[in-house]
Amino acid sequence: MTENDQGSVPSRQRKRFPGISSRAYEHPADRSALVALRKLSGFDTAFKALSGLLPERSLRLLYLSDSVRVSDAQFSHLNDMLRDACYILDLEKVPPMYVVQDPKPNAMCIGMDEPIIVLTTGLVELLDEEEMRAVVGHEVGHALSGHSVYRTVLLFLTGLALKVAWIPLGTVAITAIVTGLREWFRKSELSADRAGLLVGQDVRASMRGLMKIAGGNHLHEMNVDAFLAQADEYEKAGDLRDSVLKILNVLPRSHPFTTVRAAELKKWSESRDFQRIMDGHYPKRAEDKDTSVTDSFRESAGHYADTVRTSKDPLLKLVGDIAGGAGDLAGDLGGRLRHRFGGGQKADGGPAGDGKGTEGPAGDGPAGGGSGRESGDGAGDGQREG
């Protein structure tokens, strides 16, 4: 980072993460997609070649002409936060940031060639300094991950879907692509929330910011713990009908619900992964090219499996129970087949049991009576855990 880019250092002592890779804080589903895209030779070049079809130049001119660019002369406190965030996450080039007149609190990071950060006046007026610091860090996290490229494409395709809606079946393919992009982008928002926490290093401030976005500037009327309790109630409340309604409610959104974001961020802040980053142990940007796509997808699949297994949502609990029951059935069948075709021998080649499942060596192996089911249960449990 050059002297002009770096500017001031954080106003209070915060840990800095030199050379940190965005993989350190990315949500598993977000990270697996990004690792795969980065591995596709020429993908970024081809994607950016679309910039001639996308309204990026128009957007840059629009913000330059009809909003306020953050600098030492304008919104200087936001400029300090921006440089602080880039300093902490070691982002070499500080992206331009604009404030636009809009009462709705919002922020975004867009751009194909270079990211642009945009804040609304509603957001600037809503949050205090530490809460805003987390938001600025959130947007810098988007820039570091390269999310701005795909966000720009999402905005373009969403507009295109509206324009071709009158063409029979013309909107179906685009809508499918937009739906997939939105699902990925919701996960990328969870990644950026983590980046915001790494920048602000104040989990309560991050929680307050999300709570204010949901309920407005009435902090004296709200409580972070009660807000988090809402997330727990939302996850486990209702029956299968409510689970379906949750899915339908979230499909058109580019962001997860605020209570869900708060709960996910609190969970990550208490994790071993977060503590390792704060202790200075994290993947480096220089190692990104050596990252395994297979490992990233395996981690993503493991995350979703764990989500199904531990979720309190009625539908996901049903899916987990069905998967677990199938695993038990498969394990039980496996045990019976081993007993039927294994010649009545133990796995180590020792003598077979007497089939009564009582005492002696037979109880240790799949051939013993009653132990076949134990072996099957074990296999089923193993399958569920995998």
Q: At 3, which amino acid appears?
A: E
CA-CA distance, 52 to 57, in Å (whole number)?
A: 9
> Cβ contacts of residue 302 below 8 Å, gap of 6+?
28
The beta strand positions in the chain, using DSSP E, are 68-69, 97-100, 107-110, 116-120
Which among 348, 298, 336 has a CA at the least distance from the CA of 328? 336
Q: Quick check: is 221 catalytic?
A: no
Phi/psi region, residue 39 (left: phi>0; alpha: psi -120 to 50; beta: rest), is alpha
Of the residues 139, 189, 235, 264, only one is catalytic, namely 139
Distance CA 362, CA 371 (A): 8
Provide the 10 A C-beta neighbour count for residue 335: 23
Q: How far apart (Å, rounded) are the C-alpha atoms in residues 260 and 253?
A: 13
- Residues belonging to the active site: 139
